[in-house]
Structure 1
């Protein structure tokens, strides 16, 4: 099967309609059928409402600079499905992607024969593929990002050595609950017996839920942001940010890292604590100089990502929910307080676009609302109507490529593409294939 045909087939299994199949029954059966590859490597499991992708990527960077072979599983991807499965920062090749699927296809089809309820979903299949690939590649550690929630997410079939919860805020409330405590309960489902737990900057009420769960399952150690590790002296410069880290066992002054955004200060801080916890658990030495090298090269695509194209200053930021929109506002006020800023924005129907539109309207001088290329973005006109309540400088262009061209035809100091990560992926694909005017 060709790669493009395989991708189409996998999406047809439900990803195109974003059907979520929560529960561990199918992934447990599928992984058993293919030999439980997730047990072949040490693992770090990362969840959180926001920040989990950045932390997962930073961990991969630091650990491979410290001499380990690192497998990384992330979601969603921006342009290619191969972005989800990486070894030492390099995407799985299209050929290897097809090969790994072929190796487990027979077992998938056996489960399909049992009926729709037992048929593995798109995400369950790609999760199993990642585990199988990491086993074949003999990785030292797999860093696994949760897809949705934690407790019932397909990735939770792993018996992780370190569990990480980056943040708790409201998102996916129809699935995870409409209170911070309910959401924290779902995230806390990744905590395992005898593993180490690292908590990012989390409010006291949801943190209490998490700590109770850690005690219940007998987690070996718990490290909390603000209690066991912290950072100070935050300095913000585009692609050249800096902080002082005070950790579990280490101090690192004037640590430089490329990833932009106010939120990256806490993500980097949490990542450093996770690395310390992981190394401590296995009695491994940690090189501060290697950490410096790794973080100097740490960027996270699509998260306040700054670039220049034909002399135009551009920021891609996947501010996909209300908390992320708040962080985008803070970042803009820090990095570009006086510059003129215009944006192409696409928001999914199931997000809190009413609150998000208020924030976006307050920071951008002009906004173009566009559609997001997914079934969850079928009603951009409703989102446009919401924006009109908060700003007069807004227009609606349904086609993202037309919106892109219109945005760059305007005069501005900075051009933003924000909202859904799916929109960012579409724009990056258009740029890479020269389907838009630059």
Structure 2
């Protein structure tokens, strides 16, 4: 029996992260011991390289705007561990975390003692806690974000009402594969028999073909960005993105979102399409005013979020090459008259050199490379060795707080300070700056 919240979180984090052979059998055995809670919830399952979090946030606000109670399962957390399991955007309590751990731990102990490869991993424990919570505390819909990949992800034991694949890009190649087709195969693993799948902006033809082949094999209807739905007339002003949503079923003009970037309009369109499919399956009426309200009310901390004025400081968790590519496009398109000071830190297992090269294509930019307190078993990228290899406007400052202070002190009105890289880094900065 674990007696404190701190001990419960410590127990979770001290579980192993990975096993040698990927399988869902261990997760299925754990849930069977817990009375199969995954079969007692009403879910939408969201995978993808980037855009998962934003798409889940849009979906949550769309359902909330019509008065539904919405559960979410997301990762990683930004401020507190409890954020991973939320109801209407509110994280569950410390007491609930403790209670859930004490329900799951005896079953995990049993598997520790009986399985040759050992019991459940850290993420499997957290996923089981989520399923147990929503089975015991029912909500109208649970939005489940895949942790890593899809096919072997511990969330992939659920049969949802709708599946969503947001994007396909290079990330976690050591685990998911070295080609976009291989990565797409992993993401497409969430597609279930006869469950419709909404596919976001998957621009690589080979990756899209893999997803569609999987959908066809599972007799799952597919709706694809730029074929079955699209966004038009994207414009940005007053820190809002305005766009039109177009599909065969519904056209909505002048939608607004405070999440900036063309890719956020695309994420919103993906979320709207998944929402419409869900509503159709439930035989529920659709209200365009509610859709507009839900999209406008959506916020997602750490995604091009303004956290300070004079100078303007924005944080954005662009933690892989595809995300940095989209971020750079946004900076060039929408902030082309400002000087940029970018504070960047990344984990060692990311393509951080390529990410820095992309950031250097931003006009009138200074980059401050730095480090942060990494989570357990993870390492900072060794930025200090890159200075001579990159650009005269790149500096290394060991302490991220000093790097941010330097960037802010050198900025004038009209300049933009951008803090980006690892989501764990963004979390540290946001916790320190946003009071």
Task: Assess same fold via TM > 0.5.
Answer: yes
Name the residue aligned to 2:287. Answer: 287
Q: Give yes or no for the alignment of 1:316 onto 2:318.
A: no
Q: Contact 1:66/1:286 (CA < 8 Å) preserved in 2? A: no
Q: Give yes or no for the alignment of 1:198 onto 2:218.
A: no
1:425 positional shift: 0.8
Please show how residues 361-372 of structure 1 align to structure 2 within 5 Å. 361-363=360-362, 365-372=365-372
Q: Per-residue displacement from partner, 1:172-225 (whole Å, max 9, x unpaired)?
A: 111111111111111110000111111112122111111111111221x21111
Q: Contact 2:48/2:168 (CA < 8 Å) preserved in 1? A: yes
Please show how residues 36-435 of structure 1 align to structure 2 within 5 Å. 36-114=36-114, 117-202=117-202, 203-219=204-220, 221-309=221-309, 311-363=310-362, 365-372=365-372, 373-374=374-375, 378-381=379-382, 383-412=383-412, 413-431=415-433
Aligned counterparts of 1:174 and 1:160: Cα–Cα separation in 2: 28
1:283 positional shift: 1.1
Aligned counterparts of 2:370 and 2:426: Cα–Cα separation in 1: 12
Question: Superposition RMSD on alpha carbons, in Å?
Answer: 1.9
Q: Per-residue displacement from partner, 1:11-39 (whole Å, max 9, x unpaired)?
A: 12235xx8898421221111111111111
Say which SS state the counterpart of residue 117 (structure 1) adopts. coil
1:248 positional shift: 4.3
1:229 positional shift: 0.9
Say which SS state the counterpart of residue 398 (structure 1) adopts. strand
Say which SS state the counterpart of residue 79 (structure 1) adopts. coil
Aligned counterparts of 2:387 and 2:167: Cα–Cα separation in 1: 28
Say which SS state the counterpart of residue 178 (structure 1) adopts. coil
Aligned counterparts of 1:377 and 1:124: Cα–Cα separation in 2: 19
Q: Give yes or no for the alignment of 1:12 onto 2:14.
A: yes
Q: Per-residue displacement from partner, 1:125-183 (whole Å, max 9, x unpaired)?
A: 11111111111221121111101100000000101121111111111111111111111
Q: 1:93–1:360: structure 2 CA closer, same or farther, 3 Å change rule? A: same
Aligned counterparts of 1:83 and 1:100: Cα–Cα separation in 2: 14
1:116 positional shift: 7.3
1:67 positional shift: 2.5
Name the residue aligned to 1:436. Answer: none
1:268 positional shift: 0.6
Q: 1:258–1:20: structure 2 CA closer, same or farther, 3 Å change rule? A: farther
Aligned counterparts of 2:5 and 2:90: Cα–Cα separation in 1: 18
Q: 1:160–1:20: structure 2 CA closer, same or farther, 3 Å change rule? A: farther
Q: 1:61–1:22: structure 2 CA closer, same or farther, 3 Å change rule? A: farther
Say which SS state the counterpart of residue 124 (structure 1) adopts. helix
Q: 1:137–1:20: structure 2 CA closer, same or farther, 3 Å change rule? A: farther
Aligned counterparts of 1:177 and 1:240: Cα–Cα separation in 2: 36
Say which SS state the counterpart of residue 209 (structure 2) adopts. helix
1:233 positional shift: 0.5
Say which SS state the counterpart of residue 71 (structure 1) adopts. strand
Aligned counterparts of 2:370 and 2:22: Cα–Cα separation in 1: 30
Aligned counterparts of 1:207 and 1:278: Cα–Cα separation in 2: 22
1:272 positional shift: 0.7
Taking structure 1 as the reference length, the TM-score comes to 0.93
Aligned counterparts of 1:132 and 1:298: Cα–Cα separation in 2: 27
Aligned counterparts of 2:113 and 2:404: Cα–Cα separation in 1: 45
Aligned counterparts of 1:375 and 1:33: Cα–Cα separation in 2: 29
Say which SS state the counterpart of residue 144 (structure 1) adopts. strand
Q: Which runs of 5+ in 2 are unaligned?
A: none
Aligned counterparts of 1:38 and 1:320: Cα–Cα separation in 2: 30
1:406 positional shift: 3.1
1:55 positional shift: 0.6
1:279 positional shift: 0.8
